[in-house]
Structure 1
Amino acid sequence: MVMGFAVLYNLFTTLFGNNDSSTASEPSIPNPIPILDANLTASVCGQEVSCCPYTRYRSLDGSCNNLENPGWGTTKSTYMRLLENRYSDSIFKLPRMDTGDNMPNARELSIRLFKDKITYDIELNVNGMQWGQVITHDMSKLEEATDAAGQTLVCCRNGKLTSEVLTNEFCAPVIVPYNDRVHRPGSCLEFVRADTDRHIGCVSDDQEANQLNMVTPFMDSSMIYGSTDEESNALRSFENGNLETVTRRGREWPPQAQDPEETCEGDALPGEPCYKGGDTRINQNTELSVLQVLLLLWHNFIADGLSEVNPQWDDQTLFQEARSIVVAVLQNINYYEYLPYLLGEKNMLDNKLIYRRTPANIREYINDYDPILVPGVIMESATAALRYFHTLIQGYLLKKFEDRSDAGEIRLSEWYNRPVVIERNNTFDQLVVGLTAQSASATDPFFTVEVTEYLFRGMKKVGRDLRTVDVIRGRDMGLGSYQQARAACNLTVPRTFEDLRGIIGSNFIKILRRQYQDVSNIDLTVGGTLEIHVPGSRAGPTFLCIMLAQFYRTRVADRFWFENGIDEYISFTPDQLASIRGVTMASIFCESTDIGTIQPAAFEVISPDNPVVSCDVIPSIDLTLWRDDGTEEYEAQQDQSAKGVCAGRK
């Protein structure tokens, strides 16, 4: 007998504590959420932009997406702050509790609240876990501060505090608590705070600090193409619109990073591959590297296909047209195939993140681009809500043969920043199959020790703790409290620990009561992680509200969003749009690898409702719809690129 999702969910939450039999009512959110189009702003700290060429292609650095405010959405803009900051001096100093005491030790919170328990998501596979990191890397990247010489800032070395702690306000190492069985009590765990607009002179010293986003906030596939012209040019082959690859043992791989010691494990063997990609985090973990390789190869697949259809196109046209297709397809996959698993399809429909599709409207545009809405990444989303999904991480990655039988496993912590493992024998194809065949961990307050005890351990016995980093990063950014966030989302606001009953499991409330002096002190990262999920989603109401606001803004504030048809010069034709909407994640797997079979819903585990099928029946994009027949209409369109729109940055 197969147990239903609701039965299994209740079983797991009863066993593992993210539920409470005395809950007053099901958790829910107001629809639409009150912060959907909140009037948020971001400081523009990058290069001044005043004149925009009228081009059919989006820029690499995000400039000129908004023609009236061409600096909006550029690299090095600040994250957006939804809630009032909690800096203890209202400017930059780390938050304190209402009494003035230090906040609870982040490592102790991790030990007591975020334990390692084996749970499985009965629907999502490991690809469903890993794809979330691809999306966040596309939109968000902090940069840690450096020392006075511009070198890596070291605040904790070999478990001991350095002299930098006394003088450098970017040092915030975590002291290991007495009950830590992994690290020596009293030693330290490294943490360096992120660069801000205040520290690079973008705002005055007496203004609140806001952290810089080193990539564009748009969903523009910057993890493939980079976020500046210089980065992009370093990735291109300048032949046939392709991105550069190198060939080893008959297979194409990303090129070697220029400074491998900066992005790969320093203790690795000399000569090991260390990939160069649009995002420097390409080597961070094994499955992320696999997906980055897939996306590079899929770009080249599209560029080569366009070249066959339009042999007269030059390298630049092929590259830009392929890039626009890749960006559009990934936007479609993200919103219509992936995010519904996390946010719930109904919640996305109710808040107009997506619209219901039918055969009758598959060719229609969605023309709700809002030039008044400032594009950006909400720091409460990037630094708290989205980090919750670290819970999905599996500590051991299964390798599978084409018939889905076992081919071994890889321990996550043994290969951080060492992509060489995916090039060994047939490991790449086996990991691709394993991505789609292995269940993700369940979304709950439990996290594998591979990220809470062995993160980036290199050749050492133990490593860092991702949950500790998540908590202290929220404090680094001065995030508003859990209580503030619930108020902003028009949810019930707990005033006492008893008020948390029905919102958070009772066993967690006991721990929170011991760690925090008052409900008002609870970190957003902590409280949101412990909430009971809204039915149909994989998050509690606070995180769900914040993420819905983020992904509404991501779509509606992007002039180049693939469904926008207001400007026919930059939009896809209705037939092209329909073809893009038909491409799925399974399509990318089939067209970028040597596997011959896959389940149609590539973020879900294999099941009777999602059986393995031949790649021959998986839909593919129809590139003949991009055929350039040399008509006067097409040539006139191209001529418009000479026009420009000039506007002062506002």
Structure 2
Amino acid sequence: MSTDTSGPAGTRTAGAPAVPRPRAAPTGGPPAVPASAGPRPVPGSDYRRTLLWRVYDGVAQLVDHRVGWDRLPRSLGLAVLGGLRNILRRENLSDPSSRVPVVDASPVPPRTPQHLVARSVDGSYNDLDHPDMGMAGARFGRNIPLDNVLPVTDDELLRPSPREVSRRLLTRTTFQPAETVNTLAAAWLQFMIRDWFSHGQGDTSRLVEIPLEPGDTWWEDPMRIPRIHTDPTRPADADGPVTSINEVSHWWDGSSLYGTTPEEQQRVRTGSDGKLHLTEDGTIPLPEDPAIDPTRVPGWWTGLGMFATLFVREHNAVCDRLRAEYPDWDDEELFQRARLVVSALLAKIHTVEWTPAITSHPTAVSALRINWFGIAGERIARTFGRLSGSEVVSGIPGAGTAHYGVPFSLTEEFASVYRMHPLLPDDFDIRTADGDRPLALLAFPALAGPHSREITDRFALGDLFYSFGTTHPGAIVLRNFPRSLQSFERPDGKVIDLAATDILRIRELGVPRYCQFRRLMHLAAPRSFAELTDDAGLAADLEDLYGDVERVDLMVGLFAERRPAGFAFSDTAFRIFILMASRRLNSDRFFTRDFRPEIYSPAGLAWVRDNDMRTVLLRHLPQLRPALRGVDNAFAPWTRTSA
């Protein structure tokens, strides 16, 4: 989710500049290591390629095609999902650098002893043998074979018109709620995306012009959308798939809190006891300088600020705990250990709380918990620790690091399926946590951009979390895109149709259309519009706009298809989750081989073990206890506190 004109996320968050600053070449010490000019061999290319595994995986795929993993008993469904993940790990990880090497990339800083035990500010040295892997400025990977990345032609960009797709298929006429989750799920996703990826601001020197159809009252004709920043280092005559650069670290490292450059990190740190800056009333400071004011970065809104404030408070609480346990630690040691702890806690919450809430099928919930705790389960993990080095038995955290033969990166397809703007409601019912008394009914623009400052001043943080926790987000389906985002005024005054922009962004990154994407995810493609959706009226409208089911956009198909029971999004998108939800843990040294007391400290690991979204909320906002009573997952609807 985002409200920018470039990618799924804006550039930075709390206290960070609107445009990331390039990393300066290091001075002094050993010479900088030049970033890789091409692919480097990484271990794991032989992952489960024996005949026995291939037979198992083939049977799993056959059962999935004939029956569907979601229609099987839980144990059989888990076995099928395991086979599907094996296939995806072997066949759906591609490194564009093998075809289009990065040139003029920022140098990798010199290695220091601190890289062995702490996350670097820019993501370098997570893999000590491949220090540039996943660092800020590294290219996005792909979940499709590189030969299947579509060429970016005018026909691909403009047929059918992204604006007409927005108007005719995405416009919300009646709000369709996602009743199994609360609105915090929408805010959390934005908070996570700001940590994961940014394509940067749009390139205003290159515009895509979209002619308007008769009757369209858009403010300019043609509609002009800045092109995304594809790889700025790519030679003009390079032969290879379109690709782009992630401006933030690819690792799950809390960069939305801690920054990706030394300047950003210095700005958020107090320099005392490892802590981050908070105002006297316990909120994140918002600078007045437009160059570093996060509320002026497209994509910022109240929900993002709420979680940023909450987890800055959590970071400082971790620092207090570590300082009490290890009184001789200095500011740097406290900061680095607390960063590790909070980053791991964010990953745990997303893995075992947010994703199970939004994919609340029993088999999917079990699979996600196995990712973190293994089949041994949480109780065994808490009591005895790891029983085995196997990720299946005892979970991924603490298991061996695995790249599956491809350098780790986030992918363009991962970014594409995370375009879930329908989660945002158009209106927000703000109420008190004490008694559920109404305070205000606000349209989304009142909570977005610089207006979010007024919301922070006007309402208590506990009341905002209560209001989000007791209301529903939108369902991720067609004709449920927030109206306010189809005519949204960015902080710079430009009015955009974010629905049309989402469609355009996926096309210009060469992501295949829906039917071909299904095939590349090892799924059958619909042969007609009637097979795509059982809504006859919608099928007719799709056919009228696209003509050929093969032309249906990925996002449109994802929103249209049948969803497994309990799912807020599509089974096709879930295939990317099956692969990438594990990979982001498997490849990260600090979640695998270095997820241990010597790195985190015993107290730090205990903090990750003993906490979840509910304990974080109640530590900093104890007034939410009545609303959270009896709620097993903080992203499920809370109890209203009215009599």
Partner of 2:31: none
Partner of 1:284: 300
1:112 maps onto 2:168 in alignment:
yes
Q: How does 1:499-578 map to 2 (within 5 A)?
A: 500-501=530-531, 505-561=535-591, 564=593, 569-570=598-599, 573=602, 577=605
Partner of 1:67: 128
CA displacement, residues 372-391 of structure 1 (integer Å, 9 cap, x when unaligned): 442211211212x111x211
CA 85–454 in structure 1, closer or farther in 2 if over 3 Å, else same: farther
> Equivalents in 2 of 1:61, 1:328: separation in Å?
17
CA 358–587 in structure 1, closer or farther in 2 if over 3 Å, else same: closer
Alpha-carbon distance, 1:458 to partner: 6.2
Deviates more, 1:419-428 or 1:53-62: 419-428
1:346 maps onto 2:382 in alignment:
no
> Equivalents in 1 of 2:148, 2:213: separation in Å?
24
Alpha-carbon distance, 1:123 to partner: 2.1
> Equivalents in 2 of 1:222, 1:175: separation in Å?
39
Partner of 1:581: 609
More helix by share: 2
CA displacement, residues 475-529 of structure 1 (integer Å, 9 cap, x when unaligned): 12111121221112221123x325x516563332222212223222222122112
Give the letter for the 1:513 counterpart: E
The equivalent position to 1:47 in structure 2, one of 87, 106, 109, is 106
Q: How does 1:376-525 map to 2 (within 5 A)?
A: 376-383=409-416, 385-387=417-419, 389-402=420-433, 403-418=435-450, 419-456=452-489, 463-494=495-526, 496-497=527-528, 500-501=530-531, 505-525=535-555
The equivalent position to 1:35 in structure 2, one of 72, 88, 93, is 88
Partner of 1:617: none
CA 106–27 in structure 1, closer or farther in 2 if over 3 Å, else same: farther
In structure 1, stretches of 5+ residues that fail to align are 1-23, 147-152, 154-167, 266-279, 614-650
Instruction: Kindly indicate whether the alpha-carbon contact (under 8 Å) linking 2:358 and 2:567 is maintained by their aligned counterparts in 1.
Output: yes
CA 543–521 in structure 1, closer or farther in 2 if over 3 Å, else same: same
CA 427–358 in structure 1, closer or farther in 2 if over 3 Å, else same: closer
Alpha-carbon distance, 1:444 to partner: 2.3
Give the letter for the 1:430 counterpart: D
Partner of 2:272: 239
1:370 maps onto 2:402 in alignment:
yes
Instruction: Kindly indicate whether the alpha-carbon contact (under 8 Å) linking 2:421 and 2:482 is maintained by their aligned counterparts in 1.
Output: no
> Equivalents in 1 of 2:366, 2:407: separation in Å?
22
The equivalent position to 1:360 in structure 2, one of 372, 380, 389, is 380
The equivalent position to 2:228 in structure 1, one of 194, 197, 205, is 194
> Equivalents in 2 of 1:261, 1:315: separation in Å?
24
Secondary structure at the counterpart of residue 378 of structure 2: coil
Partner of 1:4: none
In structure 2, stretches of 5+ residues that fail to align are 1-65, 71-76, 387-393
Give the letter for the 1:256 counterpart: P
Alpha-carbon distance, 1:72 to partner: 0.8
CA displacement, residues 192-212 of structure 1 (integer Å, 9 cap, x when unaligned): 122222x32478633333011
> Equivalents in 1 of 2:492, 2:271: separation in Å?
39
Instruction: Kindly indicate whether the alpha-carbon contact (under 8 Å) linking 1:86 and 1:478 is maintained by their aligned counterparts in 2.
Output: no
TM-score when normalising by structure 1: 0.75
> Equivalents in 2 of 1:202, 1:476: separation in Å?
18
Alpha-carbon distance, 1:551 to partner: 1.4
> Equivalents in 2 of 1:202, 1:171: separation in Å?
20
CA 235–330 in structure 1, closer or farther in 2 if over 3 Å, else same: same
Instruction: State how many pairs are aligned.
Output: 534
Give the letter for the 1:589 counterpart: L
Instruction: Kindly indicate whether the alpha-carbon contact (under 8 Å) linking 2:400 and 2:593 is maintained by their aligned counterparts in 1.
Output: yes
Secondary structure at the counterpart of residue 440 of structure 2: strand
The equivalent position to 2:637 in structure 1, one of 577, 594, 605, is 605
Alpha-carbon distance, 1:224 to partner: 0.4
> Equivalents in 2 of 1:398, 1:415: separation in Å?
12
Partner of 1:322: 338
> Equivalents in 2 of 1:192, 1:504: separation in Å?
36
Alpha-carbon distance, 1:392 to partner: 1.4
CA 595–202 in structure 1, closer or farther in 2 if over 3 Å, else same: farther
CA 132–504 in structure 1, closer or farther in 2 if over 3 Å, else same: farther
Give the letter for the 2:141 counterpart: M
Give the letter for the 1:527 counterpart: G
Give the letter for the 1:331 counterpart: A
Instruction: Kindly indicate whether the alpha-carbon contact (under 8 Å) linking 1:94 and 1:475 is maintained by their aligned counterparts in 2.
Output: no
Instruction: Kindly indicate whether the alpha-carbon contact (under 8 Å) linking 1:445 and 1:529 is maintained by their aligned counterparts in 2.
Output: yes
Alpha-carbon distance, 1:218 to partner: 1.4
| Identity level (%) | 20
Q: How does 1:81-92 map to 2 (within 5 A)?
A: 81-83=142-144, 92=152
1:295 maps onto 2:311 in alignment:
yes
Partner of 1:124: 181
CA displacement, residues 450-489 of structure 1 (integer Å, 9 cap, x when unaligned): 44433236698x9422211110111121111212211122
Secondary structure at the counterpart of residue 599 of structure 2: coil
CA 353–445 in structure 1, closer or farther in 2 if over 3 Å, else same: farther
> Equivalents in 2 of 1:549, 1:210: separation in Å?
20
> Equivalents in 1 of 2:492, 2:411: separation in Å?
36
Q: How does 1:171-250 map to 2 (within 5 A)?
A: 171-180=207-216, 182-183=217-218, 187-197=221-231, 199-201=232-234, 205-247=238-280, 250=281
TM-score when normalising by structure 2: 0.75
Secondary structure at the counterpart of residue 418 of structure 2: helix
Instruction: Kindly indicate whether the alpha-carbon contact (under 8 Å) linking 2:341 and 2:600 is maintained by their aligned counterparts in 1.
Output: no
CA 95–223 in structure 1, closer or farther in 2 if over 3 Å, else same: farther
CA displacement, residues 543-579 of structure 1 (integer Å, 9 cap, x when unaligned): 1112222212211111111x64677643664x75454
Give the letter for the 1:324 counterpart: L
Give the letter for the 1:292 counterpart: A
Alpha-carbon distance, 1:234 to partner: 1.9
Partner of 1:644: none
Deviates more, 1:444-453 or 1:323-332: 444-453
Secondary structure at the counterpart of residue 496 of structure 2: coil
Deviates more, 1:530-539 or 1:202-211: 202-211
Secondary structure at the counterpart of residue 288 of structure 1: helix
Alpha-carbon distance, 1:427 to partner: 4.1
Partner of 2:156: 96
Deviates more, 1:29-38 or 1:506-515: 29-38
